[in-house]
Amino acid sequence: MKKIFVTMFLLISISICYGQEDAFFKNYPAENKYNGKIVLPEGYRKEEGLIFNDINKAVELTINYNGKYAIVRNSCGTGCMYLTLVDVSNGKVDENIFADYNINEITAMEINGERYISIPLSKKESRGIIMKYIPADSADETCYEQKFIIENRKLKALSDITTGKCI
C-alpha cells in the first residue's frame, strides 16, 4: 500500500515525454488552441495559488491535452485516484472518459493478474495519450503502456498493451 502512495506522489507531476513518445505526440497534433483564462469547473476553487476540486483535494489544472483540455489526476482519499477531462475554456468536466482507469483499494487496472496504476502522459500540442501502467503493489518492476486518442468522447486505443518504460 505504501508503494501505491509513493508511486502516485512521484508521478503526479510528470508531464515530460522522450524519444519515440515525442514522435507519437507529433503524429497527432492538437485540433484546438486556447489562450484564454482557465475557467474553473463548478465546485472548484483557487486559493493561495492552488486549485482544489469539488471534494477539496488539490489538483493540477493546466492545459496538457489537445490545446484546451486538462487531464486531471484527482485523489479521493486513501488508495483512491480518478481521472477527469476538463475543458478549460468553459469548465466542463467529463468524468466518464477515463472511468476504466480509476483506482481504489479494491479496483485497479489488472495485467497478468497484477494491479497497475494508470498514469496518462499527454502534451498540450497533441491529441495523443500514452497510458503508462505502473506496478501498484508488487515487487514486479515490469511496466506497460498503451496509446490512445479521444474520439467521439471515448478513448480509442491505437495500440495493444505493450511492455514500456516505467516513466
The total domain count for the chain is 1
Walk along the chain (167 residues) and give the pLDDT tens digit of each residue.
444 443 444 444 344 444 568 899 999 999 999 999 999 999 999 999 899 999 999 999 999 999 999 999 988 777 788 899 999 999 999 999 998 888 776 667 788 888 888 899 999 999 999 999 988 776 667 899 999 999 999 999 999 999 988 87
Q: How many CA atoms lie within 13 A of 164 on its CB side?
A: 24
Q: What is the DSSP letter of 162?
A: E
pLDDT of residue 139: 64
**Domain that includes residue 23, residue range:** 2-164
pLDDT of residue 8: 45
pLDDT of residue 37: 94
DSSP string, 94-155: E-STTGGG-B-SS--EEETTEEEEEEEEE-TTBSEEEEEEEESSSS---EEEEEEEEETTEE
- Asked if 152 and 143 touch (Cβ cutoff 8 Å), the reply is no
